[in-house]
Amino acid sequence: MSAAYKRRRFKERTPRNPYWDYSSRGAYFITICTKNRKAYFGRFDNGVFHATQVGKIAIEEWKKTPEIRNDMNIELDEYCLMPDHFHAIIIFGNNESKAIHRVPNKFGPQSKNLASVIRGFKSAVKIFAIKNNIDFSWQPRYHDRIIRNKKELENTRRYIRGNPGEMQ
């Protein structure tokens, strides 16, 4: 088996929708997990969630997202921090930088889109952990779902509110 064949045959595929522009106006439901689903963000005690320092920073960094990327017109909707993962709805308005930074949806470097927002968020939390000598790691990827209509948005909000973790 040639090296070129192996690269084509076993190339890692992105789970992103190849027909969707992830910098465009829309709502997304995201889930980001910790490495090996380790409970880095907190624990439950008698049904009450107690966030760790990393969990608290994750919430703070998430809340900063719209101001850090103000040219993308981002709105944060419902979110929930659980011991080993984070659920959120993020809504992109008219992306002012889109005309300048038009990047086709392909595997590779991307900016001013959902992937860049998630990458920045994950990076900020990881940097905090490193600077404070806290054991913490993210799962390499994240899950997303494009929310296509109001009914789906309401169902997703209800799902997030149904989680027992730290919420908005």
Angle among Cα 123, 112, 137 to the nearest 5 degrees reads: 15
φ/ψ of residue 33, rounded to 5: -110, 155
As a whole number, the mean pLDDT across the chain is 86
* Total count of domains within the chain: 1
Q: What is the CA radius of gyration of the chain?
A: 17
Domain ranges, residue 114: 13-167
In a domain, 2, yes or no: no
Query: CB–CB of 27/89 below 8 Å?
Result: yes
Tell me whether residue 52 is in a domain.
yes
Predicted pLDDT of residue 132: 97
Greater model confidence, 9 or 96: 96
Q: Phi and psi for 23 in degrees, rounded to 5?
A: -105, 0
Residue 18 in this model has a pLDDT that exceeds 80: no
Look at 2-11, 97-106, 124-133, 143-152 and tell me which has the smallest mean pLDDT.
97-106
Is the predicted pLDDT of residue 97 greater than 80, yes or no? no
Work out the angle at residue 17's Cα, subtended by the Cα atoms of residues 123 and 105, and round it to the nearest 5 degrees: 65
Give the whole-number percent of the chain exceeding pLDDT 90.
66
Q: Is residue 1 in some structural domain?
A: no
Is residue 57 a part of any domain in this protein? yes
Please report the sign of the dihedral spanned by the C-alpha atoms of residue 60, residue 66, residue 70, residue 71. Answer: positive
Residue pLDDT, tens place only, 123-132: 999 999 999 9
CATH label of the domain that carries residue 43: 3.30.70.1290
102: pLDDT strictly greater than 50: no
Residue 63: inside a domain? yes
